């Protein structure tokens, strides 16, 4: 299943930065997407860089999979919440390790779950119903992209200040690819 991500960074109500990439590869098997504060996302990436470096130092031929990274992020977000200094992000982590697909989400207070499709923000309310109705296990990559573009179009129409640029990522056992940002066709 492809993963979309919108590309904006705002200052107050202005969309000042229109090409902020919010998806990053984590280790060999995982891809992280984030909504929320860009500076907090950068701090999370710093934590994850340290985690992956520590894991690689063992040099035992094993590497962290998406499930382990998701559990780590859950603990980080919950820990920061308990210190009354939460990281203002909602995270989506996906990956494939040893043929096992994984997709999970973590909120800024550590609430987490895994499912066949996840979303953050308004996507939980507006896109997930579409995904529940139209997603199925045998969806091709091209059909998955069309379905996600449909969901993103609904979200774009709902938020007048959103930008219509997005990226699509594909994660397989061989690796991951993240598309260049492209504009979604809209019909105003």
Tokens found for residue 185: 């066709």
Whole-angstrom Cα distance, residue 74 to residue 80? Answer: 10
How far apart are alpha carbons 73 and 44 in whole angstroms? 8
Record the tokens describing residue 131, joined without a space.
Answer: 């995904």
Distances 165 to 4, 45, 57, 121, 180 between C-alpha atoms, Å: 10, 23, 38, 17, 10
* Average pLDDT for 55-77: 95
pTM, 2 dp: 0.89
What whole-number percentage of the chain has pLDDT above 70? Answer: 90
Domain-wise residue ranges, the chain: 2-178
pLDDT of res. 161: 72
- What does the pLDDT average to over 125-136? 96
| Residues 15-25, mean pLDDT to the nearest whole number | 79
Please tell me the predicted confidence (pLDDT) of residue 2: 61
Parallel/antiparallel/unpaired status of strands 165-172 and 175-178: antiparallel
Whole-number Å distance between alpha carbons of 71 and 40: 18
26, pLDDT greater than 90: yes
Query: What average pLDDT does this structure show over 93-120?
Result: 96
Burial class (CB in 10 A: 0-12, 13-18, 19+), 62: exposed
Mean pLDDT of 25-54: 95
Closest C-alpha to 116, from 142, 89, 158, 144 = 144
Q: Read off the pLDDT of each residue in 49-63 and give the average, rounded to a whole number.
A: 93
The answer to whether residue 83 scores a pLDDT higher than 80 is: yes
- Taking a C-beta distance cutoff of 8 angstroms, is the pair 107, 90 a contact? yes
Mean pLDDT of the chain: 90
Fold of 2-178: 3.60.20
Sheet holding 112-114, edge to edge: 23-26, 30-36, 89-97, 100-106, 112-114
- Own/partner pairs for 135-142, CB < 8 Å, 24+ apart? 135/1, 139/1, 141/2, 141/170
Q: Which two tokens stand for residue 100?
A: 């096992």
């Amino acid at each position: 299943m492809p993963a979309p991500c919108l590309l904006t960074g705002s200052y107050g109500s202005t969309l000042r930065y229109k090409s902020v990439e919010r998806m990053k590869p984590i280790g060999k098997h995982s891809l992280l997407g984030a909504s929320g504060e860009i500076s907090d996302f950068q701090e999370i990436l710093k934590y994850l860089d340290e985690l992956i470096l520590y894991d690689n130092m063992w040099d035992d031929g094993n590497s962290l999979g998406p499930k382990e990274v998701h559990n780590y992020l859950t603990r980080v977000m919950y820990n920061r919440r308990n210190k009354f200094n939460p990281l203002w992000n909602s995270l989506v982590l996906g990956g494939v390790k040893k043929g096992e697909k994984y997709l999970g989400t973590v909120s800024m207070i550590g609430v987490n779950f895994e499912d066949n499709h996840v979303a953050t923000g308004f996507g939980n309310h507006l896109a997930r119903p579409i995904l529940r109705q139209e997603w199925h296990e045998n969806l091709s990559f091209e059909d998955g992209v069309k379905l996600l573009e449909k969901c993103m179009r609904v979200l774009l129409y709902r938020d007048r200040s959103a930008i219509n640029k997005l990226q699509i990522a594909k994660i397989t056992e061989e690796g991951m690819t993240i598309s260049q940002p492209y504009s979604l066709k809209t019909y105003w």
